């Protein structure tokens, strides 16, 4: 595996590349062109300068998170071909510039959803939390403002204000889009982009839905190990793979992450490894990475990745806000660095105990 950290780019991230470079064991970053709107074709110059900045700091650009998918592709409207062509051209430029991993999601309207961005834990740290009872009381039209209240003034990933301004329209677009339609539209998209992925050896890694169930009555499909496997079979090309996000898939306690890792062997192109703590039906909060702080067994998760030969980029995903750090919620330096050190420790133990070379 290659240990990485997500970096949102200059002007968007409080964490610098120089700081990331000093976290032991980190080889590279996962980044994006943060101000590119979903559906827009990326400029090659912007890709080049992003890559250059990362490499000048002594790091590798290990992948893109995300090249976001336009809603027209998700709902399968008549104009989807235009957006698919843009996507293909973006992939082409990434491939030509030696970038071989793209993370994306296929969630209707909202990307990841939380009811609280700064829940205070007993030790004074703050974390993301989700409680279905609270979400049920929120009018989705106001969701963006609800998320905006505690965002420390940052633009949250996946919550583009331009899209959120048209929320009613977005909801109308998804009327009648059930799980089967979403699967069919996702298959159509993947089949269209596989040739360019084959040509440039680009691994597509779909992110599970977060939380892993339907929110605001919108269909969600990347909600279980079975559905992720179903997608890999639907478009049976090794470049069609997944991001194994333990916190997203694990939001539903019915999902056995270790089983999912084994079932997806060879198709996990990227891993987000973090812990969450269940607080009852439909309710969880993010925890420190340490197994004993949450409900997931991080050792067993890392062991399953190790045993299945996972060799892609991995990142600690979110961290708690600790030690007074003010950053984009979930993406401070301190707790993610602690998480990395812990995950690296588990990996070193696995290597030494099981004895397989990296």
Which residue lies nearer to ligand DNO by CB, 272 or 303? 272
Site map for ligand DNO, 109-148, x if CB under 6 A?
--xx------------------------------------
| Tokens found for residue 344 | 């690296």
For residues 222 and 265, what is the distance between their CA atoms, to the nearest angstrom? 17
For residues 86 and 254, what is the distance between their CA atoms, to the nearest angstrom? 38
* Count of C-beta atoms within a 10 Å radius of residue 145: 11
- Residue 211: is the preceding peptide bond cis (ω within 30°)? yes
Phi-psi region of 54 (alpha: psi -120 to 50; beta: other; left: phi over 0): alpha
Minimum gap (Å) between residue 104 Cβ and ligand DNO: 5
Which residue lies nearer to ligand DNO by CB, 155 or 350? 155
For residues 4 and 242, what is the distance between their CA atoms, to the nearest angstrom? 17
Minimum gap (Å) between residue 117 Cβ and ligand DNO: 11
Any contact of residue 207 with ligand DNO (CB under 6 A)?
A: yes
| Tokens found for residue 188 | 């159509």
- The enclosing H or E element of 303 equals helix 298-307
Any contact of residue 312 with ligand DNO (CB under 6 A)?
A: no
Q: Token pair 């600690």 is at which residue?
A: 316
Which residue lies nearer to ligand DNO by CB, 147 or 346? 147
Minimum gap (Å) between residue 37 Cβ and ligand DNO: 14
Which residue lies nearer to ligand DNO by CB, 66 or 246? 66
User: SS3 of 336, please?
Assistant: helix
For residues 126 and 130, what is the distance between their CA atoms, to the nearest angstrom? 13
Q: Using alpha carbons, list the distances in angstroms from residue 1 to 311, 321, 352.
A: 4, 26, 15
Minimum gap (Å) between residue 204 Cβ and ligand DNO: 11
Site for ligand DNO in 150-179 (CB under 6 A): 157-158
Any contact of residue 203 with ligand DNO (CB under 6 A)?
A: no
Helices (H) and strands (E) in the chain, counts: 14, 12
Which residue lies nearer to ligand DNO by CB, 225 or 330? 330
Total of chain residues touching ligand DNO, rule CB under 6 A: 11
Which residue lies nearer to ligand DNO by CB, 112 or 347? 112
| Tokens found for residue 309 | 């030969």
Minimum gap (Å) between residue 162 Cβ and ligand DNO: 16
Site map for ligand DNO, 77-116, x if CB under 6 A?
--------------------------xxx-----xx----
Interacting residues of 176 by C-beta distance below 8 A, sequence separation 6+: none
Minimum gap (Å) between residue 34 Cβ and ligand DNO: 11
Strands of the sheet with 276-278, listed across from one edge:
116-120, 126-131, 283-286, 276-278
Minimum gap (Å) between residue 106 Cβ and ligand DNO: 9
Minimum gap (Å) between residue 349 Cβ and ligand DNO: 27
Give the residue, chosen from 17, 42, 61, 65, that forms a contact with ligand DNO under the rule CB under 6 A: 65
For residues 76 and 71, what is the distance between their CA atoms, to the nearest angstrom? 8
- Residue 65: is the preceding peptide bond cis (ω within 30°)? no
Which residue lies nearer to ligand DNO by CB, 221 or 303? 221
Give the residue, chosen from 4, 66, 125, 240, that forms a contact with ligand DNO under the rule CB under 6 A: 66
Site for ligand DNO in 320-339 (CB under 6 A): 330
Interacting residues toward ligand DNO by CB under 6 A: 65-66, 103-105, 111-112, 157-158, 207, 330
């Amino acid at each position: 595996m290659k240990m990485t950290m997500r970096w949102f780019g200059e002007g968007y991230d409080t964490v610098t590349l120089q700081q990331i470079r000093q976290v032991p064991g980190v080889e590279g970053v996962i980044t994006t062109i943060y101000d590119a709107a979903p559906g827009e074709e990326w400029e090659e110059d912007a890709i080049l300068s992003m890559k250059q900045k990362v490499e000048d700091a002594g790091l590798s650009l290990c992948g893109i998170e995300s090249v976001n998918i336009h809603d027209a592709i998700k709902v399968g409207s008549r104009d989807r071909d235009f957006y698919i062509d843009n996507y293909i051209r973006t992939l082409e430029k990434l491939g030509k510039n030696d970038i071989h991993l793209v993370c994306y999601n296929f969630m209707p309207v909202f990307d990841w959803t939380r009811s609280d961005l700064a829940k205070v834990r007993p030790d004074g740290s703050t974390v993301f939390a989700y409680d279905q009872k609270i979400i049920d009381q929120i009018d989705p039209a106001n969701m963006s403002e609800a998320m905006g209240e505690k965002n420390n003034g940052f633009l949250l990933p996946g919550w583009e204000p331009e899209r959120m301004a048209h929320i009613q329209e977005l909801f109308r677009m998804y009327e009648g889009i059930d799980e089967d339609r979403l699967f069919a539209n996702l298959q159509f998209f993947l089949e269209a982009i596989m040739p360019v992925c084959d040509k440039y050896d680009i691994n597509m890694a779909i992110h599970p839905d977060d939380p892993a169930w339907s929110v605001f009555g919108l269909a969600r499909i990347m909600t279980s190990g079975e559905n992720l496997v179903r997608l890999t079979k639907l478009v049976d090309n090794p470049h069609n793979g997944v991001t194994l996000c333990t916190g997203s898939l694990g939001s539903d306690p019915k999902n056995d992450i270790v089983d999912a890792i084994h079932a997806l062997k060879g198709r996990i192109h990227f891993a987000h490894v973090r812990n969450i703590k269940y607080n009852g039906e439909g309710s969880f909060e993010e925890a420190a990475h340490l197994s004993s702080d949450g409900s997931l067994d991080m050792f067993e998760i890392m062991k399953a990745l190790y045993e299945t030969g996972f060799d892609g980029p991995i990142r600690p995903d979110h961290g708690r806000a600790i030690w007074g750090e003010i950053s984009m919620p979930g993406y401070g330096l301190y707790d993610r660095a602690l998480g990395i050190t812990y995950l690296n420790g588990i990996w070193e133990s696995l290597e030494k105990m099981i004895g397989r070379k990296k």
